[in-house]
Amino acid sequence: MATYKKKPNKAKNTQGAIETNSTTAEVFNTLDETASRSEQFVIKNQKTIFIVIGLIVASILGYLAYQKFVKAPQEKVAADELAFPKAYFEDALTTSVSVDSLLVLGLEGADGKYGFVDIADKFSGTKAGNLANYYAGISYLKLKNYKEAIDYLEDFSSDDELLGPTAKGAIGDAFADINQPKEALDYYLKAAKLRENNFSTPLYLFKAGNTAMELENYSKALDIFNQIKEEFPNATEAKNIDIYINKATFASKN
């Protein structure tokens, strides 16, 4: 049996084509109008646009010039200046004689040379100036000038694996020495979390745990001591960690 094929409706197809062409025309008209308005805006505001572009280019060129002709030479001068007080600091770490005097020389400078304090101030935007904050802070901590130690160490920042945590931990030590255990605990935990490694992390976790015990926050101390045991079993602080876990466990039950 033959199958009847219905002929397409020419009128309907023609109407669809007209609608499609109409829609396309509207789109192009809209694009033309938008482009025209954009051109008019550019023509009307071309002076302002050129000024803005000029300012951006000038800023970029100024920044590059500053980096090359100001920042780079300043970095070198600051690094050279830092070598002098740093020698006194290192001597203070390796000798048992006149340690305080060596630290003071490192802080204040001598023979017309800058110390850490001056370098941190005069070269504040340089790497050496940043390092001067660290050395000044540690020097003041060893001299038991805790406020100055905290101030300088707070101004120091570093992405180094050990230097950053050491600075935060030293602030914790300063607060511990002036009997502010809450602040000390906070900075010990910051030091432990700043750069996780097998040296500084268990060291400052251990200090944090003992400080939590001092604050009678035994559950916190227990969590910290267990973390050392589980995550850093080969660390020096983990050797007798079960003793501290037992102390914290016993204290938390009383």
Nearest Cα to Cα of residue 169 among 201, 140, 147? 201
pTM for this entry = 0.74
**Virtual torsion, Cα 172, 178, 183, 188, nearest 10 deg:** 20
Rounded Cα gap, residues 95 and 252, in angstroms:
44
pLDDT for residue 112: 93
Percent of the chain past pLDDT 70, that is, above it, reads 73
pLDDT at 79 over 80: yes
Rounded Cα gap, residues 252 and 254, in angstroms:
6
Rounded Cα gap, residues 35 and 253, in angstroms:
77
For residue range 183-221, list pLDDT tens digits in order: 999 999 999 999 999 999 999 999 999 999 999 999 999
Rounded Cα gap, residues 147 and 133, in angstroms:
13
> Which tokens belong to 176?
């511990």
One-letter identity of residue 34: T
pLDDT at 12 over 50: no
One-letter identity of residue 163: L
pLDDT for residue 180: 98
Model confidence band, residue 97 (pLDDT cutoffs 50, 70, 90): confident
Rounded Cα gap, residues 109 and 191, in angstroms:
30
> Which tokens belong to 134?
């660290």
> Which tokens belong to 128?
């050496």
Question: Domains plus CATH for the chain?
Answer: 49-157 (no CATH), 165-254 (1.25.40.10)
pLDDT for residue 104: 97
Classified as helix, coil or strand, 7 is coil
Q: Is the dihedral of CA 138, 141, 147, 148 positive or negative?
A: negative
* H-type alpha helices, 8-68: 10-66
Q: Which of 23-27, 30-34, 41-45, 189-193 has the highest mean pLDDT?
A: 189-193
One-letter identity of residue 116: F
Model confidence band, residue 223 (pLDDT cutoffs 50, 70, 90): very high
Percent of the chain past pLDDT 90, that is, above it, reads 67
Model confidence band, residue 254 (pLDDT cutoffs 50, 70, 90): confident
